[in-house]
Amino acid sequence: MTQARHLIIVNPQARHGEAEALSPVVEALLTNLPHDTVVTEAPGHASELAAAASGYDVVVASGGDGTVHEVLNGLMRIEAASRPALAVLPTGSGNDTCRTLGVPFELSEAAALLSTGELRRFDVGVCNGIFFNNSFAAGLDAKVTAKAVEYKVTKRRSGLWLYLTALLHVLFKDLGAFRLDIGFDGAPQTPCDTLIVAITNGATYGGGFKITPGADPTDGVFDVCMIDPLGLGQALWRLPFVIAGKHTKMPVVHMSRHRSALIDSEVPLPAQVDGEVLFERRYEVTMMAAAIECVVPRRA
């Protein structure tokens, strides 16, 4: 990996702006790695930079899950034959992408991986034209994501604590089911009332909630978790089990695996794609198996 040309895309605003102070650390860790470094200037800039990086072998997202999401969407605009690989330096507040890829959370270990790691192909999901490497979720999860975006700024929280406090706020203040029509793998849609529809490549979201603990981001299928409507008390006592990934056998939880999903709602339905909040009446989710190469630890 050391002879590959790397483009490091740095989001200085990651982790409440603390990532900017880590930039000299990143450069020191990459002294012997051939690379260029660019710094994002606004939301969406990382995607533009990645889309123009076809001359590189590896594009490195230095930031949190939001930065990786932008870089992925930029890379997917490049033709597959000349698309650079994706790598991650975790300088942000969320680490679900690192969990999905197996990238170490320690910055020095992740930087060393750029020289010692291997390339492996991972699945990519698409929702309404937006690419995602980790998760799509509709319903209560999207409300939580929106509140987490607020808390990240107003309360400067991060990681699992950020999403846990946002979830508790939604459970106490805005708990409610959603009526939607859903169909998988081209089958006819059926109406249902649900609290959550999570369609994932990775096992976790929200900073570590193990919503689909058996998910494999290289198997070419999504893991799906749907949870029936619950009252506040029922939701609260199940919460620790969801965090730990011990909820999958509960009668109110429905686990399945699919390659596509079509969701319709009479009113705009809140959803999130790798933390990006959406409000649409229709969501078309499809799988692109083995669509992106990523730099990951070598297998034993």
Q: What's the number of domains the chain is made of? A: 2
Q: Give the count of beta carbons closer than 10 Å to the beta carbon of residue 285.
A: 25
Assess whether 147 and 234 both reside in one domain.
yes
Residue 85 belongs to some domain of the structure: yes
Same-domain check for residues 156 and 193 = yes
Per-residue pLDDT at 185: 98
**Within a domain: 50:** yes
pLDDT band at residue 167 under the 50/70/90 scheme: confident
| Three-class SS of 55-102 | CCCEEEEEECHHHHHHHHHHHCCCCHHHCCEEEEEECCCCCHHHHHHC
Q: pLDDT tens digit string along 184-220?
A: 999 999 999 999 999 999 999 887 889 999 999 999 9
Average predicted confidence (pLDDT) for the chain: 91
Query: What are the tens digits of pLDDT across the range 221-248?
Result: 999 999 999 999 998 999 889 889 999 9
Q: Which domain holds residue 86?
A: 6-116
Examine residue 254 and state whether it is found in any structural domain, yes or no: yes
